[in-house]
Chain A
Amino acid sequence: MTPIDRAFRLARWGGVVTGAALLGVAGVYVRALVYTPVERFQGPAQKIFYIHVPSAWGALLGFAVTGVLSILYLWVKDRRIDIAAAASAEVGVALSVVLLTTGPIWGKPIWGTWWTWDARLTSTLFLFLLFVGYLVMRGVVVDPGLRSRFSAVIGVMGLVLIPFIHLTVYMFRTLHPAPIVLKPSKPSLPGEMLVTLLTSVAVFTVVYLGFLTQRYALGLIRDLREREAAGDA
């Protein structure tokens, strides 16, 4: 079996995992809408929570994995690590879009505003923009070796930047109190809601793994083809 065949088989496996995970997302929504009680204060708007929080988890998982793989790449210098890091960043960016879209949809009826410059929102936004920059950079560097090294450098820098941005926005807020936004204090979650949420988090982890496997396999195929074209495979 050639490396290309193996990569294609991996991509197919990734497709199976993604398919199962998407069925799982549908299942979570059936459970969330039919079998989970409506939240007393927020009403049906709270249902978006079961997709918002798990996508946040998936996005942060994706970016954290990219950061860790970047450090690993600088150490081991294996291009497969770079391909995996990029795949993870792509999935992270995709799930961030879900996160940053579902957030305002919920925020408008509940907080009364689409957006607020709260520490968590702002950190997510800049994290998202940072990794969009990372992916754009990968698109405009032609040499694969150069691309891997530059990506790893940005990945490591990004990992260190996150706590600084979080702290910055936190200090900005505490020193300059904003007009009070209607923000429900976090209710301790009743059992049925908690089960739905945790199921959804598990399902989104599988979504992440499915996407990651597929993108990684495609990255491998692309890398092999590029090297074939360059005549050194």
Chain B
Amino acid sequence: MVGLVRAATVIALKDLSLELRTKTAFASGLVFAVLVLAILFFSRDPTAVASRDIAPGALWVTFTFASILGLNRAFVLEHEQRAMDAILLAPIPRSAIFWGKFAGNLVFVGTIEAVSIPLFVVFYDVAVWPYLPSLLLVIALATVAFVAVGTLFSAIAVRTQYAEMMLPLLLLPFLVPPLVGGVQLTARVLDGRPLSDLGGWLRLIGGFDLAFVTLAALLFPVVLED
């Protein structure tokens, strides 16, 4: 158990320090998120629909696309330089590779989301400050779902032709429950409804997290084995 946590931490730190040195993926992910937020602002008739009405949807569509962009490159380095072979040779449990990648992707996607939120507030003129803890809980729950399924499918997609096409095609059907739940919860939280009113959706995303984090961790070694 200790070995697994340590190995996973090492893998996550390796990914994050590579990212910290280059910052290419983070910078492009962030610029992409800003672009999507800005474009979605214009996806309405301003005389009929207030920007606040589409704000929750815009936020989650942005998070979805930014996550896919980030997850697309999760295994690219390992694949291109065949570094995965070296990782597979290391005397660590296979599941440690999943947890390490999962944690690294979670930090990566979470950081892009954290930087997008202030921009979202400014662009869409919504007050999030009083509801921040609830909003962060909702975002955290749905992001875990995005990243768990995304990490597994990214490892599949990277070994196919047209990897950048394959990931969204496989991943998007799986993002329907957390995405719809995220939009519904965000809309209600920003309306000032207390979390105790929102048990149904929270349970849905929580259950999804539980089911798919477990399943992804169990199936990941099947994807890797050679």
Please report A residues at the B interface, Cβ cutoff 8 Å. Answer: 74, 126, 129-130, 133-134, 136-137, 140-142, 146, 149-150, 152-154, 156-158, 160-161, 164-165, 167-169, 171-172, 175
Contacts and interface: CB of A to CB of B under 8 A. Distances in A.
Contact of A126 (B152, B160, B173): B173
A137 B166 contact: yes
Contacts of B39: none
Nearest to B161: A140
B18 interface: no
Contacts of B127: none
Nearest to B201: A171
B173 A164 contact: no
Contacts of A149: 222-223, 225
B156 interface: yes
Binding site secondary structure of chain B? helix
Contact of B160 (A140, A157, A175): A140
B152 A153 contact: yes
Contacts of A141: 159-161
Contact of B170 (A74, A126, A137, A172): A137
B160 A171 contact: no
A95 to B, nearest CB: 18
A168 B219 contact: no
Contacts of A136: 166, 169
B117 interface: no
The 4 closest A-B pairs by CB, nearest first: A130-B173, A168-B177, A140-B160, A164-B177
Contacts of A134: 170
Interface in B100-135: none
B144 to A, nearest CB: 14
A167 B1 CA distance: 35
Contacts of A137: 156, 160, 166, 169-170
A146 B222 CA distance: 10
A129 B152 CA distance: 19
A195 B174 CA distance: 38
Given A153-B223, A157-B215, A160-B211, A168 B176 contact: yes
Given A149-B222, A171-B200, 7 more contacts: A74-B222, A126-B173, A130-B173, A133-B166, A137-B166, A150-B223, A153-B219
Interface string B131-174: 00000000000000000010010001001111000100110111
B204 A167 contact: yes
A61 B207 CA distance: 26
